[in-house]
Amino acid sequence: MNNRLKELNEKLEQAQTAEERVDALNGLAAEYRFSDIHKAKETALQSLELARQEDYALGEAASRRLIGAICEVQGDYLAALEHLQRAAELYTGHEIYSAESIITNNQIAKVYANLGDYVRGLEFLFQSLRTAQEKKQLKAEANTLNSMSVLYQRMNNAQKAEECARQCLQISEQTGEKRILGVARVNLGNAYGLMKNWERALDQWEISLTIFEAMGDADLQSSTLGNLGIACQNLGQYEKAESYLLQCMDIKEKSGNRYDVLRALQNLASVNCEMKRFGKALEYCDRAMEIDAEIKVKSMTYLLWREKALIYKGMGDFEKALDCFEKYHTLEKELFTEEAGIKTQNLQARFEMEKSEKEKEIYRLRNIDLAAANEQITRQKEEIEQANKDITDSIRYAKRIQGALLPTSETMKRLLPDAFVFYRPRDIVSGDFYWVAEAGGKLFVAVADCTGHGVPGALLSVIGNNLFEQAVHKKKLSDPAEVLNDVSREMQELFRRGGDESSLNDGMDVALCRISEDKKEILFAGANNAAYIVRANELIEMQPDKQPVGLHGGDSQSFSTRCMNLQPGDNIYLGTDGFADQFGGPKGKKFRSRQVQEMLVSNSEFSMNEQLARTAKIFDTWKGDLGQTDDVCIIGIRV
């Protein structure tokens, strides 16, 4: 038993009145929260019963606030709300307890956030912030700003999350509150993490860990260890990330904090997925989902479905992956709707407005006018757009699925550190796609142009992506021609099962290359699309076979592989015909293939980033005000 617990037990034994006993029990419950959460709840319930017997309202409020916080940690959110809202009612009218009232509101906001109702959570936090500023309670103001930063993080609003964390940091440095200071740095790191600035995030979390270690706060240490694990994962330090996350989970499991255990499991699943330990990743994900099924944290549920989709994709089970992506997308739409964003902005505006009594009435009238105008505009928009809404939603969903199947930026940086991708869909979704994979120490890169564009092309691109994955990872094919032959056979069989083969002309034009581990050799197979090597300002064309992958009017022949030695400084280019087919220029003509080849040669002396910028500028200048003709995709790789 630590010294603090000894002191509180002595205080309980020495209590002369029922009120003193209630206060002592609440003190014990608060202390037990960080070591034995079940004992904490038992003690707080004992205190609550005594407080109600003695009609000790403020003691009851303190007991309920503790029980609410414990229920929130255990994932019993409805019970948490019941106790916290009753505590808030009991504090109302007691001026001396305004700080406790603020803390209670902040806890209520956290519960609403866990339930996915971010707007309701923000309402309570703005109420707390107003009270803290009016009462000049700097500690309460800083705590509220930290809570607001956390909620904005859950809403993926990095700018507001950083803003609140910095305001809190400024106040806590002024007051010297170490715990609040450490939490503010955690939240600042979280905001940087949302911005993908992992080095700056890591700096903030390492400072936080030092503060919490000096304080001996195991709970905050474990949370920070979890954050450090996330940073290391995003910096590619996977073993270190797993070590941090396992330390975090060990502490959280001992404390009984089920939400934080859930987060740690989700992050462990993600790290193991990155390390291609898919079985272990799935095990962590399933454990997390078991906890989530009980505590129902919407803001975590949708992330777990996304994680599971990525795991199944890595395992090559694309049917399950797509099913999981669908569940992820449905939940994401519920959490991050445009309506929630508008309501959040209105809350912020309302708070700023109420800070100035002089302007309150002006803003109120203006908001009434805006609300009426918005209502009329919304009604008119609904009448015009209703017929197209479902179609557009479906297409945007298809875009999410298609985007999820493309290589992530992290994968591209890891496998192709010196490369660029110029990818311009003509419509919301694209018939062009690119595919990158590593197998057996060899690097595969493909650029494909599916029949059509828009939705039909996008559907074919999903099929094509999956067939490439199966050919290389499941069937272990390594020769580019064998890969194209296999993908073509599978696609032909798929379309034969779907209808009249004679009426179909569906497939892909593909440029597929395999680069050796030492980058000294390239093997290439093409279906109508060539590969280009630019060496010392000279263009070398690797010819494709003059047939597509899939169904077409002529007889299908086997694809052939071409081999070429590479030299340091060579530039490899794969692309579709969309750039060459773009109408524009002074006479509104096509750009043409020869001009594309000349562009590749002239750009080859520049860095990959500069090549991407120059390619985009040339395309946009040529297109001018004309509409985009086709989907466009070009990949450049420097050896």
CB 580 within 8 A of CB 529: no
Say how many domains are in the chain.
4
As a whole number of angstroms, the distance between CA 520 and CA 540 comes to 16
pLDDT tens readout for residues 325-353: 888 878 777 665 544 454 555 455 445 54
350 located within any domain: no
pLDDT of 135 reads 86
pLDDT of 613 reads 94
- Rounded to an integer, the average pLDDT of 528-533 is 96
pLDDT of 625 reads 84
Mean pLDDT over all residues of the chain? 85
pLDDT of 367 reads 59
38 located within any domain: yes
Q: Does 615 lie in the same domain as 634?
A: yes
Q: Does 494 lie in the same domain as 382?
A: no
> Domain end: 272, 300, 323, which one?
323
Query: The CATH number of the domain where 33 resides is what?
Result: 1.25.40.10
pLDDT tens readout for residues 447-488: 999 876 666 777 788 888 889 999 999 999 999 999 999 999
Q: Does 479 lie in the same domain as 418?
A: yes
555 located within any domain: yes
As a whole number of angstroms, the distance between CA 338 and CA 393 comes to 13
Which of 274, 196, 192, 193 is CA-nearest to residue 236?
274
pLDDT tens readout for residues 234-248: 898 999 999 999 999
Q: How many CB atoms lie within 10 A of CB 375?
A: 10
Q: Does 596 lie in the same domain as 495?
A: yes
For 325, the enclosing helix (H) or strand (E) is helix 318-335
pLDDT tens readout for residues 77-109: 888 999 999 998 888 867 666 788 898 999 999
- Rounded to an integer, the average pLDDT of 614-623 is 94
504 located within any domain: yes
As a whole-number percent, the residues of the chain with pLDDT over 70 amount to: 86
486-488-494 Cα angle (round to 5): 105
Q: Does 503 lie in the same domain as 412?
A: yes
Residue 434, strand partner residues: 447
Q: Does 281 lie in the same domain as 257?
A: yes
Query: The CATH number of the domain where 627 resides is what?
Result: 3.60.40.10
pLDDT of 393 reads 61
What is the C-alpha end-to-end distance of the chain, expressed in Å?
Answer: 64
Q: Which of 70-74, 179-183, 397-401 has the lowest mean pLDDT?
A: 397-401
212 located within any domain: no
Q: Does 451 lie in the same domain as 401?
A: no
- In sequence order, the 6+-apart residues with CB closer than 8 A to the CB of 485 are 558, 559
Q: Is the pLDDT of residue 17 over 70?
A: yes
Q: Is the pLDDT of residue 40 over 60?
A: yes
Q: Does 622 lie in the same domain as 576?
A: yes
Residue 638, strand partner residues: 571
pLDDT of 12 reads 85
Quick one: how many helices (H) and strands (E) in the chain?
Answer: 24, 13
pLDDT tens readout for residues 542-563: 999 999 998 776 677 899 999 9
pLDDT tens readout for residues 386-401: 545 655 665 666 667 6
pLDDT tens readout for residues 423-454: 998 887 788 999 999 988 899 999 999 876 66
**What single letter denotes the amino acid at residue 335?**
L
Strands 538-542, 589-590: pairing kind = unpaired
Q: Does 577 lie in the same domain as 441?
A: yes
Q: Using the Cα atoms of residue 137, residue 140, residue 145 and residue 148 in order, give the sign of their dihedral.
A: negative
Q: How confident is the model at residue 54 (pLDDT cuts 50, 70, 90)?
A: confident
Whether the predicted model's global pTM rises above the 0.75 cut: no
608 located within any domain: yes
CB 331 within 8 A of CB 301: yes
344 located within any domain: no
> Domain end: 405, 434, 460, which one?
405
DSSP string of 104-150, one letter each residue = HHHHHHHHHHHTT-HHHHHHHHHHHHHHHHHTT-HHHHHHHHHHHHH
- In sequence order, the 6+-apart residues with CB closer than 8 A to the CB of 507 are 450, 451, 460, 488, 491, 527, 548, 549, 550, 551, 552
- Distances in Å between the Cα of 91 and the Cα atoms of 9, 60, 298 are 26, 10, 30
CB 247 within 8 A of CB 231: no
pLDDT tens readout for residues 480-522: 999 999 999 988 887 777 654 544 567 899 999 999 988 889 9
As a whole number of angstroms, the distance between CA 282 and CA 272 comes to 9
Q: Does 421 lie in the same domain as 370?
A: no
Residue 421, strand partner residues: 635
Residue 134, strand partner residues: none
As a whole number of angstroms, the distance between CA 29 and CA 45 comes to 9
Domain span holding position 235? 217-323
Q: Does 413 lie in the same domain as 458?
A: yes
CB 66 within 8 A of CB 30: yes
As a whole-number percent, the residues of the chain with pLDDT over 90 amount to: 49
Burial (CB < 10 A; 0-12, 13-18, 19+), residue 387, is: exposed
> Domain end: 33, 68, 92, which one?
92
Classify residue 157 as left (phi > 0), alpha (psi -120 to 50) or beta.
Answer: beta
pLDDT of 365 reads 47
CB 418 within 8 A of CB 431: no
pLDDT tens readout for residues 122-163: 999 998 999 899 888 999 999 999 999 999 998 889 999 999
pLDDT tens readout for residues 245-283: 999 988 888 777 777 888 889 999 999 998 999 999 999
Strands 562-565, 521-527: pairing kind = antiparallel
**What single letter denotes the amino acid at residue 286?**
D
Higher model confidence: residue 389 or residue 61?
61
422 located within any domain: yes
Q: Does 422 lie in the same domain as 273?
A: no
489-493-496 Cα angle (round to 5): 140
